[in-house]
Amino acid sequence: MSYKIAVASLDGKFVNEHFGRAKEFHIVEVSESKYEYLETRKNMPSKRYDNRHEYAISEAIELIADCRFVLVSQIGPGAEKVLDAKGIKPYVIPNFIDDALIQIISLNKGE
């Protein structure tokens, strides 16, 4: 069974974006312990304290709604709670994307 992982990254090499500030999510598909890059989805994050912040978080979550996991460098408790409610598990792993993906695949093997 295959599934998708969203990765919050500025450069496509390292997990280095806060969920709420991510300008893009790199989407990877995992199948039988192998992964393949599919696409990059552009996001429109808000400034932390503007009146659009909660709406922007909701938009980001909808953007990755088909993903099972999201890899980030940081995430706030509100966004984490909404992601969990939508069935998307966030992981805070500020590491090289390849290493983080291997870790996630290993942790979730057999699910």
Which domains does the chain carry? Answer: 3-107 (3.30.420.130)
Find the mean pLDDT for residues 44-60. 69
At 8, give phi and psi (nearest 5°).
Answer: -85, 110
Sole residue written with tokens 């991510």: 22
At 71, give phi and psi (nearest 5°).
Answer: -105, 130
Name the DSSP class of 102: H
Q: What angle do CA 87, 25, 79 make, to 5 degrees?
A: 45
The 10s digit of each residue's pLDDT in 66-94 is 999 999 999 999 899 999 999 999 999 99
Judge contact between 9 and 17, C-beta under 8 A: yes
Find the mean pLDDT for residues 56-61. 86
Sole residue written with tokens 């300008």: 23
Work out the percent of the chain whose per-residue pLDDT is above 90: 75
Q: How far apart are CA 78 and CA 109, in angstroms?
A: 28
pTM reported for the whole predicted model? 0.91
Q: How far apart are CA 85 and CA 64, in angstroms?
A: 14
